[in-house]
Structure formats: C-alpha cells, structure tokens
Amino acid sequence: MATKLDISKYGGSPASTRRSPTPASLRASWTQDRTTRNHAINVQIANIRKAKKVDFCIVMDCTGSMARHLAACSSHVLRLVEYVGKINGSVQVRWGFVGYRDHEDGARRLEWLDFRNDDGRAFRTVVGEIQAFGGGDEPEDVLGGLWEAMQRLSWSGGTKIIFHVGDAPPHGRIFTSGSDNYPGGDPNGLRHETVLRKMRSLGILYYFGSINNSTDRMIEIFQQTLGKITVFNVKSTQPQTLVDQFVKASSVAIAQSVMLTSTIAFANASTLGKADLPMDPNQPDNWKNVPTIKGTSYTFNIPKSMDKIMSLEYWTRANLISGSVAIKVAEKPFSKGVERYAYYGRSIKAMSKDEAVVLKKFADEGSVSDFERYLTSLEVQTIAAYMAFEFNRYNCTLSLLLLINDVLQLLKLSVHCALFPPAANAKKVKFLKARVIKTAAYGEPRYCSEEPLYRDANFKRFNCNAGVITEFHSTLEAFAHFTYQFTEGYLVVTDLQGAEYQTEFILTDPAILCVDNLRFGQTNLGSGGIKECFVANHRCNSVCQQLGLKVIGA
C-alpha cells in the first residue's frame, strides 16, 4: 500500500495563520469592482459551458476507394469517446455523419446521420454498414456532401466541427486537371464560395483528413475563404494505424475547436476586428542596425510562501526590484497571441554577450493602466514559477524517498518496501523568467514584457484557462492539481504552454484561476472558473496518484 505524503510539510503555512486578503486588489485598475467582475465572469463561464457542447460531424467520401477509411472511421469512434471522456471529461460531443459519392450514383449520392448524443453508438453502427462504391470519374461530389452536412443536420452546439475526409477533389477545372465529367463545376450550380461562406456564417470549424495529394489544390482554394486549415494525415495502409490516425485527428480537432470557441470569450473587445499589425517571421538581418533603447526593468522576488502569494501588499510597486537595461526590438512582431504581439529582441549586456530575448506587447496598449497590466502578467508568471519550484521540490523529495526505498529493497529489507509508492515519472516544470521593461524612447513611457528567447519548433499549448486539454501530459495536469491542493483551493495555475523535453517542461505565459477574482487579470475566472474549468474537467492520473494528491471528484 502506498503511503500518502503530507503536502503541507513542503511549504506554505497553516491556513489559520494566514492573513485573509484585503477585499479589493491593488492591481484592479482594469476593472471597476467585484460586482462588475462577477457579472463578466458569469458571462464568460456561460460561454465556456456552451463551447463544451460540441457538434462533431464527419463528412466523408464513400466511393469505391474508401472502404478502409470507412472501416477505420466507424471503429475509431468508441476509442475517441473514451479518450475525450478521460482527457476532457466536461466536454459533451454529439456525433453526426454525411457520406457523399457522385452525381451518377442517384439516390445514394448522399447519406447522412443527424447528431446523436449517444456516445457514438449510432454513428458506429451506421458508418459501419455504409458501403464504399461508385464514383466514376476522378472528382466526387465534395461540395454536395459539405452542403448536405450544413442543411440536413440539426446544428445547435456551442462548438461546431466538420471533419472532412476524402481522396478526390470536387468537380471543376479549378480543382483538378484529371478526367472530370463536369469540368465547368457542380452540375447543380453549387459553388465552393457559397458552401464555405455558409460554413463560416454558421460558425462551423473545418478540418481535413488527407489521403493523397489530389486534394492539395482544393485545400489551397478553401483556405482563401476559410483561412488556415488544419490538415491531418489519415494515409496509413495498416488498419490499426489508420484507426490511431483517426483518433488523433478527431481528438485534436475537438480540443482545438473547444479552445478556440471558448477563447473568443477572452479576446479583448478592443482588439477584435482590428487589423493585425504586419508581421515578419524572421529576426533582423543585422542587429547592429537596430537602435538601442534604454529603459528600466522590473521584477518581483519569487515569494516562497503562501502568505506572500495571498498578501496583496507583497505585489505592490513598492516591492518591485528595478534596474537599468538596454534593449533592441525588431521593427515588426513575429507572432500574435490572444492579447499580445511578440517581437524578437536583444538584451544588451555591458560585460557579456547580448542575450536573445522575446518582447511582448499588448495589442491594444495606450491606456493609463498599461503598467498595471504588465505587472499583472509578471505577478502571474512569478507565482507560477514559485508553484513549479514547490512542485519540483516535492517531486524531488518523493524521488529521494523512492531512492531510499530502492536501497532498502536492494538490501532485502522488504519490510520497508510497502512504505513508499512506486517510482514517480513526473518531469520537472519550469517557467521562463520574465520581467517588465519601461522605455521612454518616444517621449512617453512604453512597456513590454521580456523573457529569454526560447523558440522551439515544438512549442505548444497543452491546456487553456477554459479548462480544455489540447495535449494531455500527466505531469502538467498533475502540476495544475498540485497548485490547487498546495494553495488549499485558493488558485490553479493553468493555460500551460511551452515545450516538452526529456526531463522537463519549459513553459511561459500561464494564467491563474483564483478565488479572488480581482487578481490576475481577465483570464482569472474566479472560484466559479476553478470549479467549472479545473475541478469539473480534471481526472486524476498516475502522477497525481504518485504524488499522493487528494483525488478530485471522489
């Protein structure tokens, strides 16, 4: 039997000795009062709840060449239901299907199954019985299939998805130069622009499963209307691998879509509808030609106790540590997140080599509260760094005990073996060290956040503050759980994004859900958010268990 460790030994202090936080945050200038904030949060949580109701429709070519894919599509659904249930327990999916063939196939040109909320059972049976036949010339009635999905199915979910799988393009010379009975396009006059505009107006998110390159041109053309399309690989000729590819594609499509739909709730109204700044994905050719800007840097000391995390006095300007800095900033940003643009930069050092950094600026800056907003993001990242420190320390202590256990086992002192749980496989969690920089290059103060350049090709978002897990890692979900337990339910560190390495995760830009809803900016959804976005979705995993965390939802 595993012995649970007492987490309170590893940091913090008993809750009874803590000062309760003062009623209003000192960094609350972005909002008016708790009542207004409560109202805004309730609206956001209602949106998130809605976004977690998903209509998922697979639109699939059912002509002669598609038998393998129909079989994989039918059998992947039960595994998918199980996977979604395990990873994102609060997401509810209704399953729908449209199969299309070609104009020569008469009454069996189109077949469909309306959305069902039955864990994919009807989907599995119906799709399993569909036969792959017909087709004729190379293109198929792709547009008819997509149109049917929008017309026939009863779309009502907060998140609407079409996952389209096919091995041939639509009719028409713009899509193919192969043999085509309708080179002028759809014989019923259906145009792709009409289909795609309808899709956009219904708020349906489109994904494609690619089998060969005959549909590449179609995706290029579709992207002109829909923007960047995520294309999944469903090319395997091995039946089991093909099922795996379907499970992966469908689960990513569902998680990404729910995240996207619920993120719209957070996008600052003032940046929505505003054209993006022109971007440049490359670093400047020669940093020597980029002017140096002088400024002041600000950081907070890592708090190292729960008292300090909860004490609003700790996070005031009086406690900032400042220093002089010199930086260079690329002229154009290289990317844009929900709220901020990211620029390449250089931190100029007098005594050593310049450091490559990333500078982040709010897209809608220019208000009096700019400095406070930057300090809020600094506060979030500093607290997350402290939580990671405690998590790693706790995990380390556990590892040491495990080592002792191993030694005892080696010495055949089996009587002690039962004292300790099996080896923990948690990786370390680290956050990039951030600071706020104030410059006055153009007469008025300008701010940005700075962190070391850590651009990794594998940079990903693992989960978001709406509580959707886009890529599951037991360590990261256990880390979120750890922060909840360590702070006795006061906060949860979420929105984990960064890169995974052999022994650690390097993360940046987290968000904090906290019972004090006037702290941590607009991504903090208060105690309602902790309940809806963390507790309702979290399923304890092996790392939670090995760390001895109290089971959530038991």
**Minimum CB distance to Zn ion smaller for 160 or for 481:** 481
The CB-of-528 to Zn ion minimum distance in angstroms stands at: 20
Strand partners, 341: 336, 361
Strand partners, 295: 325, 439
Residue nearest to Zn ion (CB): 544
**Minimum CB distance to Zn ion smaller for 386 or for 482:** 482
Q: Is 481 in the site for Zn ion (CB under 5 A)?
A: yes
Distance in angstroms (rounded) separating the CA atoms of residues 445 and 435: 16
Q: How many CB atoms lie within 10 A of CB 451?
A: 19
Strand partners, 97: 58, 113
**Minimum CB distance to Zn ion smaller for 138 or for 477:** 477
251 φ/ψ sector (left φ>0, alpha ψ -120 to 50, else beta) = alpha
**Minimum CB distance to Zn ion smaller for 6 or for 285:** 6
Contact between 450 and 435 under an 8 Å Cβ cutoff? The reply is yes
The CB-of-549 to Zn ion minimum distance in angstroms stands at: 5
The CB-of-527 to Zn ion minimum distance in angstroms stands at: 18
Total residues at interface with Zn ion (CB under 5 A) = 3
Distance in angstroms (rounded) separating the CA atoms of residues 103 and 181: 10
Query: Quick one: which of 527, 541, 434 has its CA closest to 480?
Result: 541
What is the per-residue binding string for Zn ion in 406-445, x denoting contact by CB under 5 A?
----------------------------------------
The CB-of-84 to Zn ion minimum distance in angstroms stands at: 18
Question: In this chain, which stretch among 374-382, 419-427, 465-473, 479-487 interacts with Zn ion, using CB under 5 A?
Answer: 479-487
Q: Is 476 in the site for Zn ion (CB under 5 A)?
A: no
Report the sign of the C-alpha dihedral through residues 523, 525, 526, 532, in that order: negative
**Minimum CB distance to Zn ion smaller for 44 or for 90:** 90
Query: Quick one: which of 247, 83, 254 has its CA closest to 159?
Result: 254
Structure-token match 């294309």, residue found: 231
Q: Is 473 in the site for Zn ion (CB under 5 A)?
A: no
**Three-class DSSP category at 199:** helix
- Where are the alpha helices (H) located in 28-187, listed in sequence order? 34-51, 67-87, 121-129, 142-152
Question: In this chain, which stretch among 171-179, 376-384, 513-521, 544-552 interacts with Zn ion, using CB under 5 A?
Answer: 544-552
The CB-of-540 to Zn ion minimum distance in angstroms stands at: 3
Residues in the chain: 554
Q: Is 309 in the site for Zn ion (CB under 5 A)?
A: no
137 φ/ψ sector (left φ>0, alpha ψ -120 to 50, else beta) = beta
Question: In this chain, which stretch among 20-28, 268-276, 478-486, 519-527 interacts with Zn ion, using CB under 5 A?
Answer: 478-486
Structure-token match 């979900």, residue found: 477
- String of b and e for 261-293 (b: at least 16 CB within 10 Å)? bbbebbeeeeeeeeeeeeeeeebbeebeebeeb
Q: Is 544 in the site for Zn ion (CB under 5 A)?
A: yes
Distance in angstroms (rounded) separating the CA atoms of residues 140 and 179: 11
Question: In this chain, which stretch among 183-191, 321-329, 516-524, 536-544 interacts with Zn ion, using CB under 5 A?
Answer: 536-544
Strands (E), 274-394: 293-299, 321-329, 335-336, 340-347, 355-362
The CB-of-97 to Zn ion minimum distance in angstroms stands at: 35
The CB-of-485 to Zn ion minimum distance in angstroms stands at: 8
The CB-of-484 to Zn ion minimum distance in angstroms stands at: 8
**Minimum CB distance to Zn ion smaller for 298 or for 484:** 484
**Minimum CB distance to Zn ion smaller for 269 or for 554:** 554
Report the run of H or E that residue 110 belongs to, with start and end.
strand 110-116
Q: Is 543 in the site for Zn ion (CB under 5 A)?
A: no
Q: Is 540 in the site for Zn ion (CB under 5 A)?
A: yes
The CB-of-500 to Zn ion minimum distance in angstroms stands at: 19
Question: In this chain, which stretch among 181-189, 342-350, 481-489, 529-537 interacts with Zn ion, using CB under 5 A?
Answer: 481-489
Instruction: Give the residues lining the site for Zn ion (CB under 5 A).
Output: 481, 540, 544
